[in-house]
Every structure is written in structure tokens, then in C-alpha cells.
Amino acid sequence: MADTVRILAVGDVVATAGCEKLKQTLPKLKKELNIDAVIVNGENSAQGNGMTPFSIEQLFSAGADIITGGNHSYKRREVYDTLDGAISVIRPANYTEDCPGIGYTVLDKGFVRIGVVNVLGTAFMEAVKNPLDCVDASIAALERDVKIIIVDFHAEATSEKRAFGFYVDGRVSAVFGTHTHVQTADEQILPNGTGYITDAGMTGPKQSVLGVKPEIIIERMKTNMPARFETAEGECVLEGVLFEIDKKTGRCLDVQRVNA
């Protein structure tokens, strides 16, 4: 039995096109890269944004083990019951206990158990509970049970994301940023052994503005009028980050960006 576990984190999957790309690409990627577990950010997986029971099903059928969310987790009411009932679909831990769903979970792969946490940033975002307090509480709840903890930090500002990484360095196995849909080139292992990337990127149409048709965004910039977003067409990319984690210590041994 291997001493390490290889965990792929996939950046925000956008709409049906992104779900289709994941279905086409993830199964062979899992084989090629010897991936043991897959965490997918699904906050934009529904057609028209947010997540729905249908889009969640698409992500699981593509091979996701855990689905994380973000500021769009609650956009579609039809997903609330799914969030309440599921242990493999989580939403940011910053929301109160009264809100549907849970902020952290444990993935049991048999040979390894992996804690997964979802936290929202607050810089240029909604004023939810303090992200550092939220991650502390989630770590405290999980560390009795698991050695490996992976955090999806869904935030806008690179400074907030990097500060968050250093804050949890040595206490979690890895942090991957999501929300900005543009993959950053700062994948690294922080001084105390936590794997880190500011943003894992996006799974969706390449010629787009964060998944949306560029002409719609340009029109909005020109006129300042509201516009209905439509998913761009054309070739899609799958972007993510692969962490190799020591099963005994929970430390990250290797981190690599993935573009497929």
C-alpha cells in the first residue's frame, strides 16, 4: 500500500459545457496521474450559475468524490434539500448552522480518510463569518478524526488567499483557492508543509470571461446596464491542482498544476 495519497482539486466547473468537459477528461486523467480522490468546486456547475441536483449528479458521474461550493452555493433553491441531505456536497463554513448544508466533511476512501473544508473569503465578498475563525473551528472538529485535511478557500483577493494559506500552514495538508476562475502559477509547499495554490482555475470554455461570453461582459462595461450572462461556446479546459500527501504525517510532498 502506498504511503502517499494523490488528491486532485478541480477549479470551478462552469455550466453544462464544464460538466461535459469533466466527464470527457476526468476518468482518463485519474488513470494517467494515479489520482486517489477528487474534489470539485461546483458552485457554477448549473446552466445559468449556482448548482442544482442535476449539475451535482453530472459532477459525481464524472468522478468527483466531494463537491465544494462558494458564494453561489445558495443561488438555486432547488439545491437546498440536496445540500441538507448530502455528506459529499459541502457549502462554505461561514454560513450559520440554520443555513442548508455543512461546511466540512470526511471522505472515506477505505485506505484513507480525508477531511475537506470549504471557506469563503470576505475581501470584496459578502460579509459572512470570519474565515479564520471558521477554518479554526472546522480543523478542531476534523483533526480528532483525520490526519489529512484539504481546504477550498473561495475568495476574491490574492492577498487574503495567501494570508489564509500561511494562517493554516502546518495544520492542514493543502489549501486550494477558487472563485477567480484564473489559475495562478504560485503552486508551492508552504514552510510548515501545507500545499498551496492561490487559484486552481476553471473548468469551462477557454475563450470566455470566467466562463461567460466576452461580448456580454464588454457590453456591460460599456453601458453599465445589467445583462443576462450566457456561457461561452467552443473548446473547454479542465484546470486544477494535484497534491501528493504523506498519509502518516498529513504533510504535502508535492504540488502540481493540472491543465487538461
Binding site for Fe ion (CB under 5 A): 12, 44, 70-71, 179
Nearer to Fe ion, 12 or 36 (CB): 12
Q: How many Cα atoms occupy the beta-carbon half-sphere of 115 within 13 Å?
A: 23
Q: How many Cα atoms occupy the beta-carbon half-sphere of 2 within 13 Å?
A: 10
- Report d(CA 240, CA 91) in Å as an integer: 19
Which residue, 37, 20, 28, 14, is CA-closest to 247?
Answer: 37
CA dihedral angle for residue 207, residue 23, residue 80, residue 43, rounded to 10 degrees:
-30
Please provide residue 144's backbone torsions phi and psi, each rounded to the nearest 5 degrees: -70, -25
Distance of CA 133 to the CA centre of its chain: 19
Spell out where the chain has E strands: 4-10, 37-41, 66-68, 104-108, 113-120, 148-154, 174-178, 188-189, 195-197, 204-205, 236-237, 239-246, 252-259
Q: Is 179 a catalytic residue?
A: no
CA distances to 16, 44, 107, 128, 160 from 206, in Å: 14, 15, 31, 31, 26
Collapsing DSSP states into helix, strand and coil, what is residue 150?
Answer: strand
Nearer to Fe ion, 42 or 63 (CB): 42
Nearer to Fe ion, 126 or 235 (CB): 126
Nearer to Fe ion, 71 or 203 (CB): 71
Residues contacting 228, CB < 8 A, separation 6+: 216
- Report d(CA 222, CA 58) in Å as an integer: 36
Nearer to Fe ion, 103 or 193 (CB): 103
Residues noted as catalytic: 72
